A and B are shown apart, each in its own frame.
Chain A
Amino acid sequence: MKRAMCMAMGTLLAAAAAWGQSGLPLPAPVEKELAARASDVTEVTLDKNMLGFAAKVMNGKGKDDAAVKQLIEGLEGIYVREYEFDKAGEYSAEDIAKLRQAFAAPEWSPIVRTTERKGAETTDVLVKQVNGETRGLFILTAEPKELTIVLILGPIRMDQLGMLRGLGGLGGALGPMGPLGPMGPLGPMGNMRHGSHSKDKSDDQTKKGGDQ
């Protein structure tokens, strides 16, 4: 009897732990502070369950559909946060530092870092490498009045990444993907191939390959 009770409790705790892991793995206070200061906030959260369902229902008939299906069925989550501010200076360099700090683990490496307009606009692209495989992508774009975060977790093929915008075609149900649209932060990533980190903007300063 006791053993059965222990097993039931164990199952419940495991389920609770799994549920707790489904959110955006960013420090909650940073998200809350940014949301409190932003005039408009857009959040897109596609967890493993939702992506699994999307992959399941995609027929994969077309070439693009098949590639998107293959890409998303292994993903653990896609998270987008877009904060728009009424005026410049509503978020600080410290906020950006806190966001970067969340990905300061050894498996995360910066591959692109750009600074434009004398530091007013920055873009960070980090990838998570596990045993030589790309298992995550983090993009942070900071403009004076806008801050965008894109986090994709799971095995990623860089050459297929641009196809994620095709998720909007899932019967229109996931249509308003906002920043995942053609002109969003993933737009420039569409042509990025693993190992070649080109960016065609005329930047004041571009750093590549972990020179933070």
Chain B
Amino acid sequence: MNRHFWIPLAGVLLCVAIVIPWAAMAAGGAGGFDGVVDAIEDHYHAHATRIPLMGLASLVANSTTHGGVSGVRVAEFEQFPGPVDGAELNQIVEEKLGQGWGRIIRETSRKGAEQTLIFARPEDKLLGLFIVDLDKHEMDVVEVSVDPDQLNETINKYEHRAQEEDSN
């Protein structure tokens, strides 16, 4: 094996490493939150309102929940055009969401007016959640990272307080 073998091979591998991700992006568009929202907009000819200053809201949420909630992203479709095929919606979301996400909950009605999809993925100590919820003509798409431990403690705190109030 000499450099006449390795140099062309390295060149080919470099091209593959650059071209394949670019081709995938070009063919399928962006993935993740924006990819899903864009795909839903395209497919159903609907317009999503991305909540402004969400980064600031996310910071506030992170602070008030002591790190329990972070990375909040929300898009809202206010006049979503009618019922959808649940399987089709699921396929669109799964394809665009990308690897690492697993669907944990799906609720679908045959008439198509109500659909809920909840995907999750472990993010180190956090749990990433991606939620798509359609209720008649309103669809919400939410991405959030939660710290299950922190959130559990917060919920327990409020549960105890509610129990105390009930007993009084």
Binding site for B on A (CB under 8 A): 22, 35-36, 38-47, 49-50, 53-54, 56-59, 169-174, 176, 178
**Which secondary structure dominates chain A's binding surface?**
mixed
Which of B104, B109, B148, B152 is the one whose CB lies under 8 Å from A40? B109
Q: Quick one: which of B104, B106, B149 contacts A57, CB cutoff 8 A?
A: B149
24 residue pairs from A and B, CB less than 8 Å apart = A36-B110, A39-B109, A39-B111, A41-B108, A41-B109, A42-B105, A43-B103, A43-B105, A43-B107, A44-B104, A45-B106, A47-B102, A50-B102, A50-B120, A54-B148, A57-B125, A58-B148, A59-B149, A169-B155, A170-B148, A171-B148, A173-B151, A174-B104, A174-B120
CA distance A44 to B102 in the complex (A): 11
Which B residues contact A (CB, under 8 angstroms)?
Answer: 68, 86, 102-111, 114, 118, 120, 122, 125, 127, 129, 146-152, 155
The answer to whether B108 and A171 have CB atoms under 8 Å apart is: no
Nearest chain A CB to B64's CB is how many angstroms away? 15
Closest to B117 in A: A43
Contact pick for A171, options B105, B118, B146, CB 8 Å? B146
In the complex, the answer to whether B122 meets A40 with C-beta atoms within 8 Å is no
User: What is the distance, in angstroms, from B122's C-beta to the closest C-beta of chain A?
Assistant: 4
Tell me if B152 and A42 are in contact (CB < 8 A): no
